[in-house]
Homo-oligomer: A and B are copies of this chain.
Amino acid sequence: MCELLGMSANVPTDIVFSFTGLMQRGGGTGPHRDGWGIAFYEGRGVRLFQDPLASVDSEVARLVQRFPIKSETVIGHIRQANVGKVGLSNTHPFIRELGGRYWTFAHNGQLADFQPKPGFYRPVGETDSEAAFCDLLNRVRRAFPEPVPVEVLLPVLISACDEYRKKGVFNALISDGDWLFTFCSSKLAYITRRAPFGPARLKDADLTVDFHAETTPDDVVTVIATEPLTDNENWTLQQSGEWVLWWGGEVLAKGRV
- A residues with CB within 8 A of B: 42-48, 50, 52, 59-60, 63, 66-67, 87-91, 95-97, 99-102, 120-125
Contact = CB atoms under 8 A, between A and B. Distances in A.
Contact of A100 (B87, B88, B91, B122): B122
Contacts of A43: 87-89
Contact of A122 (B66, B87, B99): B99
Number of copies: 2
A124 B101 CA distance: 5
Nearest to A99: B122
Contacts of A87: 42-43, 45
B122 A47 contact: no
Nearest to A50: B47
Nearest to A102: B124
Given A59-B63, A63-B63, A45 B100 contact: no
A120 B120 contact: yes
Given A43-B87, A45-B87, A100 B120 contact: no
A45 B89 contact: yes
A177 to B, nearest CB: 9
Contacts of A100: 122-124
A12 to B, nearest CB: 12
Contacts of A96: 96-97
Contacts of A45: 50, 52, 87-91, 124-125
A48 B97 CA distance: 15
A138 to B, nearest CB: 12
A47 B90 CA distance: 12
Contacts of A44: 89, 124-125
A122 B67 CA distance: 31
A45 B45 CA distance: 19
A46 B95 CA distance: 11
**Residue of A43, A66, A96 with most chain B CB atoms under a 10 A cut-off:** A43
